[in-house]
Structure 1
Amino acid sequence: MERKRNYIETVRDWADERLRRLCGRITPGKRLAVILVMSALFGGLSLYITISSIYNIGKRDGQRLQIEHIRQFPLHGNDSINLTNRPEYGRSTEK
């Protein structure tokens, strides 16, 4: 387990170092432009997925959910929680 943790920390540190080195080379104006473009792309993608999901809610007529009533589970005649109240143990269920 300790070996996995060390490997994960090594990969995380490597990725963090590479990202910091890559972002440190660009100017603050370009950094702001990259952030704004990525935010616009991800926001647009999020809106597209949400709107297309809402639009397609009733479109698939052949794949509608079939709702049916709950059926009773068939139990065996000798199923009981109270084992002393069963005829095969000497007690009668009749009163």
Structure 2
Amino acid sequence: MERKRNYIEKVQDWADDHLRQMCGRITPGKRLAVILVMFFFFGGLSIYITVSSIYNIGKRDGQRLQIEHIKQLPLQGNDTTNSINPLNRPEYGRSTEE
């Protein structure tokens, strides 16, 4: 577990260093432009996914969801009085006439 945590920390540090190097090279105006473009792109994507999900809530429910009634399972033994106690079943080596 400790080895995984160290690996995750190394990856985070590597990504942090590279992002800081890339962002440090651009001017503050360009940095603001990149942040605004990303904000509007991801905001628009979020709104699109939300609206399309709400729009498609009631479509094709009848085709996907098919409900059937529960069927009765057949009993294993012929004698229903002895079928509850497994020690009285003939298939377990004891007779029912004891």
Would the TM-score normalized by the shorter structure come out above 0.5? Answer: yes
Going from structure 1 to structure 2, the CA distance change for 1:35 and 1:66 (only over 3 Å counts) comes to: same
Q: Distance in 1 between matches of 2:2 and 2:46?
A: 38
| Farther off after superposition, 5-14 or 17-26 | 5-14
Query: Any idea what SS the aligned residue of 2:59 has?
Result: coil
Query: CA offsets, 1:40-73, max 9 Å, x none?
Result: 0111111111111111122214435456789xxx
Aligned residues: 90
Give the TM-score normalised by the residue count of structure 1.
Answer: 0.63
Q: Which amino acid is the alignment partner of residue 55 of structure 2?
A: Y
Query: Any idea what SS the aligned residue of 2:49 has?
Result: helix
Query: Any idea what SS the aligned residue of 2:48 has?
Result: helix
Give the TM-score normalised by the residue count of structure 2.
Answer: 0.62
Is 1:31 aligned to residue 27 of structure 2? no
Query: CA offsets, 1:4-56, max 9 Å, x none?
Result: 22222111111111110110001111111111101101111111111111111
Q: Distance in 1 between matches of 2:57 and 2:7?
A: 45
| Farther off after superposition, 23-32 or 1-10 | 1-10
Listed as ranges, the gaps of 5+ residues in structure 2 are: 71-81, 83-98
Q: Distance in 2 between matches of 1:62 and 1:69?
A: 16
% identical equivalent positions: 85
Q: Distance in 1 between matches of 2:58 and 2:3?
A: 51
Q: Distance in 1 between matches of 2:15 and 2:57?
A: 41
Match of 1:53 in 2: 53
Is 1:10 aligned to residue 10 of structure 2? yes
Match of 2:22 in 1: 22
